[in-house]
Amino acid sequence: MKNEEEIWELVDKKKDDFIEFSDRIFDTPEILYKEFKSVSEHTKMLKKEGFKITEGICNIPTAVMGEYGDSGPVIALLGEFDALPGLSQEAGIAEHKPIENSGNGHGCGHNLLGAASLLAATAIKDWLEKNHIKARVRYYGCPAEEGGAAKTYMARDGWFNNVDTAICWHPATFNSVNKPVSLANTRVDFTFTGRAAHAATAPHLGRSALDAIELMNVGVNYMREHMPGSARIHYAYMDAGGNAANVVQAKATIRHLIRASNSMELRTLVERVYKIADGAALMTETSVEKNVYSGVSNLLGNEPLEDLMQDEFEKLGPVIFDKDDKDFANKIRSTLNESDILDSFQRIGMKAPLDMPLCDFVASLNNESNGGIGSTDVGDVSWVVPTAGIRTATWVPGTAAHSWQAVASGGTSIGLKGTELAAKTIAATAVEIFNDPSIVQAAKNELNQRVGDDFIYKALLGERNPPLDYRVN
């Protein structure tokens, strides 16, 4: 059987189609649970490439799965395609230039993410078919990563139960196997209900829901001194009760995003926030309703898969960017400050050289992460199936995810070259897994060792239905 160069060639044969595909997703940025055009493009591409398609996973209209093969081991490739509100930006322009004021944009590079994973799945399908191998590859088109936790619902409802390994990737400023670090989080809406009254003539008859929220925020702010250092709590007013200052506001809603280093710590923190909310309601003689919108677990590492991905990554090496790429990168870099650039590689335990226009190396697997930690719904997948992933350089060093600079780079050849590298690394990793069944067994043993013999997966978001109205309410 031919080596991994065969799978690289299969990626090359299809990459032009997927570059155009990524561009179409870029041009129609849609926010979580509203990705109807994006999922339509994914479904069309899956049909074109001969995958068996399952639509509406977990009763989510924008979730889709494509599968090739009817027996043998199963590898799942995770793709995403949701955008972010307020990050509209022209591609290839080194200044803030929205296409649409307050419009959406792919600030986290999910147009690239879905394209690379689907390209890899297609190459793997072609390789399985060409070599007459009994195995299955699945592409999971996962919406709503940006807070909606679609993968958590998929994990909860058993969509990964018969998967042997899962592989993912993410756009970044560097090339590295993913560090298995993320925070568990949950999003909870607190709706306080009181009694309206005239704020001047009868204030004593009113019971202010807005007062309750403000008191709750005071309590949460005091709690920040008395919680683990890795924990985070953010909030946004969903409904401040109206805009009439002469009315005692009878109803108001605030959304709290609570993060912690692991699910157990998070559950404890959430209970403390609940008590603060109950206390605020008691002080104001209002009532409070709690509605969990989403929740994701922390990532679990898997050393056998990470070691394998590192090997395949190093065989490929970094992207060789051309002069045009570097010229544009230098223009983007001029919009960033020194602190942005130095902080850019902290996730891989390095300081970015100030004169490096684009990442030109593959980081060592042994670097210790000391950067900021976010959250991802890939975490829940990693608790039920051995999971590993990579990051490739699609952005200029210093670029923050969720920024116009990320959008501007992600729609250029810089982003697309990083996408190709991700697809080849993912596909080559899958080939090695199919060629060597012992890798799967080692990966499963590692997962079982991490979670323990008595582990039963429970989603942090409970039994609620997916919040298809997440960005509406």
Residue 462 lies in a domain: no
- Which tens digits make up the pLDDT trace of 58-93? 999 999 999 999 999 999 999 999 999 999 999 999
* Rounded distance between C-alpha atoms, residue 158 and residue 315, angstroms: 35
Q: Judge if 42 and 94 occupy the same domain.
A: yes
State the pTM of this model.
0.94
Residue 466 lies in a domain: no
Q: Judge if 202 and 325 occupy the same domain.
A: no
Task: Answer yes or no: is pLDDT of 4 > 80.
Answer: no
Structural domain of 206: 184-296
Helix (H, G, I), strand (E, B) or coil at 313: helix
CATH number of the domain that residue 173 is part of: 3.40.630.10
pLDDT recorded at residue 472: 63
Q: Judge if 202 and 174 occupy the same domain.
A: no
Q: Which of 112-116, 178-182, 294-298, 381-385 is least confident?
A: 178-182
- The per-residue DSSP string of 190-245 comes to EEEE-B-EETTT-GGG-B-HHHHHHHHHHHHHHHGGGS-TT-EEEEEEEE-S-S-T
**Mean pLDDT, the chain, integer:** 95
Task: Answer yes or no: is pLDDT of 50 > 90.
Answer: yes
pLDDT recorded at residue 2: 47
Task: Express as a percent the part of the chain with pLDDT over 90.
Answer: 91
- Which tens digits make up the pLDDT trace of 315-359? 999 999 999 999 999 999 999 999 999 888 888 888 888 889 999
CATH number of the domain that residue 197 is part of: 3.30.70.360
pLDDT recorded at residue 366: 85
Indicate the residue among 281, 296, 311 that finishes a domain.
296
Q: Judge if 267 and 334 occupy the same domain.
A: no
Q: Judge if 33 and 47 occupy the same domain.
A: yes
Q: Judge if 89 and 220 occupy the same domain.
A: no
Residue 465 lies in a domain: no
Residue 65 lies in a domain: yes
Q: Judge if 263 and 209 occupy the same domain.
A: yes
pLDDT recorded at residue 193: 98
Q: Judge if 219 and 311 occupy the same domain.
A: no
- Which tens digits make up the pLDDT trace of 415-446? 999 999 999 999 999 999 999 999 999 999 99
Average pLDDT over residues 451-460: 94
* Rounded distance between C-alpha atoms, residue 318 and residue 414, angstroms: 12
Residue 459 lies in a domain: no
Q: Judge if 174 and 322 occupy the same domain.
A: yes
Residue 456 lies in a domain: no
- Which tens digits make up the pLDDT trace of 462-472? 999 999 987 76
Q: Judge if 254 and 286 occupy the same domain.
A: yes
Rg of the chain in Å (alpha carbons)? 23
pLDDT recorded at residue 322: 97
Residue 446 lies in a domain: yes
Domains identified in the chain, total number: 2
Task: Answer yes or no: is pLDDT of 1 > 50.
Answer: no
Predicted confidence band of residue 3 (pLDDT cuts 50, 70, 90): low
Would you give the distance in Å from CA 412 to the centre of its chain?
Answer: 21
